[in-house]
Amino acid sequence: MKAFVFLPGTLCDERLWQYQLPEFSKSIVVNLRTQNTLEKMLDSVYEVSFDSFVLVGFSMGGYVAQEFALRYSERVEHLVVMGSSTQGYPPKEQEVITQALPVIRGGLFKGITDRRLREFLHPKSYAKPELRELIHSMAGPDAAQVYLRQLEATLGRRDLSSEIGNIVCPLTAIGGHDDHIVSAESILAFNKLVPNAQVQILEECGHFVPLEQPAVVNEILHGIYQLP
């Protein structure tokens, strides 16, 4: 029975994977909200009890997952990245965050605003108030502190384009056709970088892939689960 280890994105928690966890009884979500360095995040993944596992990462968690698979190849049976590329922090997002840092450091940051959510979600997803509320809720009352720690750990993330082809496990990359944060083009680049990579771009989907298209994501993960 394959084990699944899920890594959330920035300001997300285990609820990001609420549609996936019930599908796989042998699974765990690694909390990436408390660490302020990449090394500490990687250590948290390393400490999971499974000897080897399918590693699934979304957005920031997708970057951490790539770094982990490159460093600890013997632990990863299959790498799945969603809404995450090899190309470092998205430049436009990095610019927005840099401008917002004074507000974040001042403790005034409360999470993603509804206006910003329009950039993250497909219009059909944005029209669902329960989805918007979930994303707001995941940020938590300590959003400013969590965000600062995660930025400190990953804002300077490396471009892994020249290294990702060295991973020894199979790789599946999933992106949203309408993702304005991590473009579909940057996800499709995995086809050129990783031999035999499986890349899927989902229609009517923005950045929050596991929440916007859960049925398709589950189908893909079940296909991986059934591999020998």
Write the pLDDT tens digit of every residue in 28-42: 999 999 999 999 999
Q: Is residue 206 part of a domain?
A: yes
Flag residues of the chain having pLDDT under 50.
none
Query: What CATH code is carried by the domain that includes residue 193?
Result: 3.40.50.1820
Q: What is the pLDDT of residues 70-108, one digit of tens each?
A: 999 999 999 999 999 999 988 888 888 888 788 788 877
Residues 6+ apart with CB under 8 A from 95: none
- Residue 109: predicted pLDDT: 84
Q: What are the distances in angstroms from CA 135 to CA 64, 88, 142, 172?
A: 21, 23, 14, 25
Q: Is residue 100 part of a domain?
A: no
Q: Is residue 107 part of a domain?
A: no
Provide the residue range defining the domain that includes 38.
4-90+151-225
Q: What total number of domains does the chain contain?
A: 1
Q: Whole-angstrom Cα distance, residue 131 to residue 199?
A: 25
Q: Whole-angstrom Cα distance, residue 161 to residue 144?
A: 31
Q: Is residue 108 part of a domain?
A: no
Q: Is residue 146 part of a domain?
A: no
